[in-house]
Amino acid sequence: MRPLPTDTEAEAKQAPKGSLGTTMWRLFALLASPDMAKWRFRMGVALVLTLIAKIFAVYAPVFFGDGINLITEHAGQGGPSDSEAPAGAGALTGIISTFTLAFIVYAVARFLSVGAPQLRDALFAPVSQDAQRLTAVRAFAHVQTLSIGYHQTKRTGALNRIIERGARAVDFLMRFLIFNIAPTLLELGLAALVLSTTYGWEFAVIAIITVAVYMGLTWSVTEWRVQIRRTMNEADNEASARAVDSLINFETVKAFAAERREAEAFDTSMTRYAKAAAKSQSSLALLNGAQALIMNGGLLAMALMAGWKAWNGQLQPGDVAAVTLILMNVYQPLNILGWAYREIKQGAVDMERVFETLAIKPDVADAPDARPLEVKGGAVSFDRVGFTHDGRSRSIRDVSFEIPAGSFVGICGPSGAGKSTVLRLLFRFYDPESGTVRIDGQDLRQLTQESLRDILALVPQDVVLFNDTLRANIIYGRPDATEAEIRDVVERARLAAFVDGLPDGLDTMVGERGLKLSGGEKQRVGVARAILKNPAILVLDEATSALDSQTEKDVQVALAEAARGRTTIAVAHRLSTIAGADRILVLDDGHVAENGTHAELLAKDGLYAAMWKRQSEAGEGGELTLDADTVEAPAAQ
């Protein structure tokens, strides 16, 4: 039995740890990647502006303190006497000019400490957006390459959230790790240096201890809060996935009168989220209170130490203001440290989820020396092929058959006999566990998947359309088709009357999964798409089994057009649709039980004959054929 995919839904619910070291490395690797080379100059300017802002943020209070010191010095002198008025006036002018200059320098430094980051953010915005785009596109493109087995175990809503959150995390982590947390540590170092060299080592010790205690408390409490946030995200993912599933399948929900059950299930997920969110908000209030206590305690210690030194004549009043302002400046970015740390941790988790997804290897991958398929007619062969699906003891075993180029072969059998598995192996959605599948003598495992699927076209039982226009859905397999070619396939697929009757014609939106169209209309759009692709091999997977008799006849004519001149493989429940096949393969219990023409199989009086008898007695229609020359075209609907 094939192993289950490693990234199962149960594993997806267990959030990764989100290592900050690994996250930083990934961020820098992303910024250093060739795709981001065009932004290197902006990155350098942004870093320089960040350094300038921190330098001025530390020195601005020093200039402010100098200004106050000049004023207090003048006030302490009591002003000049009348006899010294002329000279005193000049001295007063000089003092006023000096402290005015000090305050002007303070204002300029303060503006640069605030304005430089604004300019930096403006310059860095396109860098951040491009990094988000690159991350999202890489993840989306990689997910597109993953195998069918992966997508069958993933909930679309949850997967989409992983990609969205991972891309947003890149922007957040860049702004806060690179331009907030790291520069704040630099600012603390500069502040400690200025405090110790200008005012005394005691102030540097107070600042470092206060910040260390503040960060330690924030770190420990936020680690606890991250666990709560993880529960919130799991509930959010579940609610989002459930909502997407329900909204996509709204017809089924309504058909089974399950609206209330769906709402109750969604309410259960949202209740779990609400409880975790309330706990998160309460713990945040506790953290903010503790942070405020530490911050104000540090300011008190700084003010008392500065006041004591000023009282003893070691410092001037302006110095008291300066050291207090320096510590307040250091505190300012720390005010959001708890929130930022939690978001950084969550961002690291979100980013790690994306990289875990990027690390998943597809079950089916091109070989290093894979080559394009060389089409020589479209002959298909299965040579002793065996394969087992997940969750089943067996799917197909020892299946062998040959389909000559240009022939029409039908495949039938009971449910679970392996019919769809054969098609999936042909498309190389899976690789066989034993045996070989070949097209024109070439082993599919030695070919590129893109070249293989370029020569195949599928019309499934339920054609699923994109929520786009009729035109976009028809040209999906060949986007460069001309208007004349599109019109031609519309005619050949018996869609012309339908399209001409629409106000917007081919520009009509078909709705989610094509729900604005009837079953027959969707099938004919699928046929038109297949004809336009002009494949070497056409695959029909019970393409008419869900249709009524009249609609089936209409679609049969369109299918006859699509099948003409190419290898055609038709999996059928209604045996009448393959009765005219060149050969019919009858699968049972995962192997080829019978094969031959319709007449030969009836003569054998085996499984096929029994199935034909049951369907004939049930009145499932007379014999049809995919030979376009013998099928009478009914009026277009």
Q: Which of 140-144, 217-221, 339-343, 379-383 has the highest mean pLDDT?
A: 379-383
Please give the Cα distance from 297 to 302 (Å, whole number). Answer: 9
Residue with more model confidence, 392 or 407: 407
Residue 32's pLDDT is what? Answer: 86
Sign of CA dihedral 181, 186, 188, 189: positive
- For residue 399, what are the contacts with CB-CB under 8 A and spacing of at least 6? 382, 384, 385, 386, 418, 422, 435, 587, 590, 591, 592
pLDDT score of 403 more than 90 = yes
From the list 394, 462, 464, 385, the residue with the least C-alpha distance to 425 is: 385
Sorting pLDDT into bands at 50, 70 and 90, what band is 102?
confident
The C-alpha atoms of residue 510 and residue 517 are separated, in whole angstroms, by 6
Q: What would the pLDDT profile of 138-174 be if each residue is shown by its tens digit?
A: 888 888 877 776 776 666 666 777 888 888 888 888 8
Question: Is it the case that residue 401 has pLDDT exceeding 90?
Answer: yes
The larger pLDDT score, comparing residue 77 to residue 421, is at 421
Radius of gyration of the chain (CA): 37
pLDDT the model gives residue 94: 60
How large is the average pLDDT for residues 538-567?
Answer: 76
**pLDDT for the residue numbered 547:** 64
Q: Cα 424 to the chain's mean position, in Å?
A: 26
Structural tokens at position 197: 């060299």
3-state helix, strand, coil in the chain (%, to 5): 65, 10, 25
Among the ranges 18-27, 278-287, 304-313, 618-627, which has the highest mean pLDDT value? Answer: 304-313
Tell me, what's the pLDDT at 411? 93
DSSP H or E segment with residue 571? strand 567-571
3-state secondary structure 431-467: CCCEEEEEECCEEHHHECHHHHHHCEEEECCCCCCCC
* C-alpha span between 453 and 116 (Å, rounded): 54
- Give the H or E element holding residue 389: none
Handedness of CA 578, 581, 586, 591 (dihedral sign): negative
Q: Looking at residue 181, what DSSP letter applies?
A: I
pLDDT at 391: 55
- C-alpha atoms less than 13 angstroms from C-alpha of 503 in its C-beta half-sphere: 1
Residue 443: predicted pLDDT: 93
Strand partners, 591: 588
Distance (Å, whole) CA 74 – CA 80 = 10
- Per-residue pLDDT, 511: 81
Q: What percent of the chain has pLDDT over 70?
A: 86
Q: Give yes or no for a contact between 554 and 524, defined as CB atoms under 8 angstroms apart.
A: yes
Tokens of 506: 């081919």
pLDDT at position 635:
32
The model's confidence at residue 373, banded by pLDDT at 50, 70 and 90, is very high
pLDDT > 50? residue 116 = yes
pLDDT band at 41 (very low <50, low <70, confident <90, very high): very high
Q: What percentage of the chain carries pLDDT values higher than 90? A: 19
Mean pLDDT (whole number) for 43-59: 89
Average pLDDT over residues 263-270: 85
What is the β-pairing status of strands 396-403 and 380-387? antiparallel
Residues 607, 622: Cα–Cα separation, whole Å: 19
- Strand partners of residue 411: 571, 585
Give the strand pairing for 434-439 and 583-588: unpaired
Report which residue type is found at 278: A
Token representation of residue 270:
């949202």
Closest C-alpha among 311, 312, 301, 314 to residue 200: 314
Nearest to 339 by CA among 279, 276, 285, 274: 285
CA torsion sign for 616, 620, 626, 630 is positive
At 81 the pLDDT is 47
Provide the 8-state DSSP code for 351: H
Reference 106, options 331, 333, 322, 328; nearest CA is 322
What is residue 145's predicted lDDT score, i.e. its pLDDT?
A: 79
Average pLDDT, integer, range 515-531: 85
Structure tokens at 311: 């009282």
> Is 216's pLDDT higher than 90?
no
Strand intervals (E) in 393-521:
396-403, 408-412, 434-439, 442-443, 456-459
> In whole numbers, what is the pLDDT of the chain averaged over residues?
81
Task: Report d(CA 553, CA 540) in Å as an integer.
Answer: 15
Buried b (16+ CB within 10 A) or exposed e, 37-68: eebeeebeebbebbebbbbbbbbbbbbbbbbb
Average pLDDT over residues 392-396: 67
- Grouping H, G, I as helix, E, B as strand and the rest as coil, residue 613 is helix
Q: Which domains does the chain have, with CATH numbers?
A: 10-359 (1.20.1560.10), 372-455+582-637 (3.40.50.300)
Q: How does residue 78 score in pLDDT terms, banded at 50, 70 and 90?
A: low
Structure tokens at 230: 């993880």
Distances (CA, A) of 251 to 58, 258, 480, 543: 64, 10, 34, 22
Tokens of 166: 């991972």
Pick from 102, 134, 114, 138: nearest CA to 49: 114
If you average pLDDT over residues 355-379, what whole number do you get?
A: 86
Report the alpha-carbon distance of residue 321 to residue 330 in Å, rounded: 14
What is residue 379's predicted lDDT score, i.e. its pLDDT? Answer: 93
Residue 156 pLDDT:
63
Report which secondary-structure segment, H or E, holds 583: strand 583-588
Tokens, residue 552: 């089936």
Token pair recorded at residue 74? 């003048």
Whether residue 84 has pLDDT greater than 80: no
User: Do the strands 583-588 and 591-596 form a parallel or antiparallel pair, or are they unpaired?
Assistant: antiparallel
Residue 559 one-letter amino acid:
L
Instruction: Report whether 487 contacts 407 (CB < 8 A).
Output: no
User: How many Å apart are CA 437 and CA 291, to the nearest integer?
Assistant: 67
Distance CA 39, CA 250 (A): 46
CA–CA separation, 597 and 581 (whole Å): 7
d(CA 94, CA 298): 37
Per-residue pLDDT band at 365 (split at 50, 70, 90): confident
Please report, in angstroms and rounded to a whole number, the separation of the first and last CA atoms in the chain: 47
- pLDDT at residue number 83: 45
| pLDDT at residue 436, rounded to an integer | 94
